[in-house]
Amino acid sequence: MNLGSLMRSAHAFGASFFFTIDPDFNPKEVKLSDTSDAAKNLPLYTFPTVGSLTLPRECRLVGVELTDDAVDLPSFHHPHNAAYVLGPERGSLSPELIERCDQVVKIPTKFCVNVGVAGAIVMYDRMRSLGRFAPRAVGSLGGPGEKPPHVSGGPVLRRRKT
């Protein structure tokens, strides 16, 4: 059920792809918990082992795990090109997988949350921190602030060859 929830959240938050490592899931159960039909709209890559995991060029692997040296999610600067990996519901990321991660983050809570919830929290934090929304209001009324201007560069002007 968590896999379907994670796939649905990934689809909703605009992920480019979804991957699993050494999966053990029932496709019918995934379909029941994923009402967005993410499997038809989001590429799914399955890797048999951690060693076989291949990511797009310049893509950083970010582990989500409760470790002492993990960065608290609210202070984490998300890479522009990143893939996030979460452990199983009743387990952790393997030492081999943590070693593969470029960074490890944790959600600062009293105890661990459901893996589907954790994935959604991380995806939402990524979207917020990369500037997809206006900043939060400073005043007591709680209305939204103004969305920051686009700063990735101006238009590209091309001259015609004559």
Residue 149: inside a domain? no
Residue 53: inside a domain? yes
Residue 21: inside a domain? yes
Residue 142: inside a domain? no
Per-residue pLDDT tens for 26-70? 666 666 656 677 777 888 888 999 999 999 999 999 999 999 999
In the prediction, which pLDDT does 162 show? Answer: 66
Residue 12: inside a domain? yes
The model carries a pTM of 0.78
C-alpha 92/C-alpha 13 separation (Å) is: 24
In the prediction, which pLDDT does 41 show? Answer: 81
Residue 99: inside a domain? yes
The total number of residues shown for the chain amounts to 162
Per-residue pLDDT tens for 105-136? 999 998 889 999 999 999 999 998 987 766 66
Residue 156: inside a domain? no
Q: What is the mean pLDDT of residues 70-84?
A: 95
CATH of the domain at 39: 3.40.1280.10
Total domains, the chain: 1
Give, as one character, the DSSP assignment of residue 120.
H
Which of 90, 87, 92 lies closest to 6 in space, CA to CA? 87
User: How distant is the alpha carbon of residue 19 from its chain centre?
Assistant: 11
Give, as one character, the DSSP assignment of residue 86.
E
DSSP strand pairing (18-21 vs 71-72): unpaired
The residue segments making up the domain with residue 76 are 2-129
Radius of gyration of the chain (CA): 18
Residue 134: inside a domain? no
C-alpha 98/C-alpha 135 separation (Å) is: 33
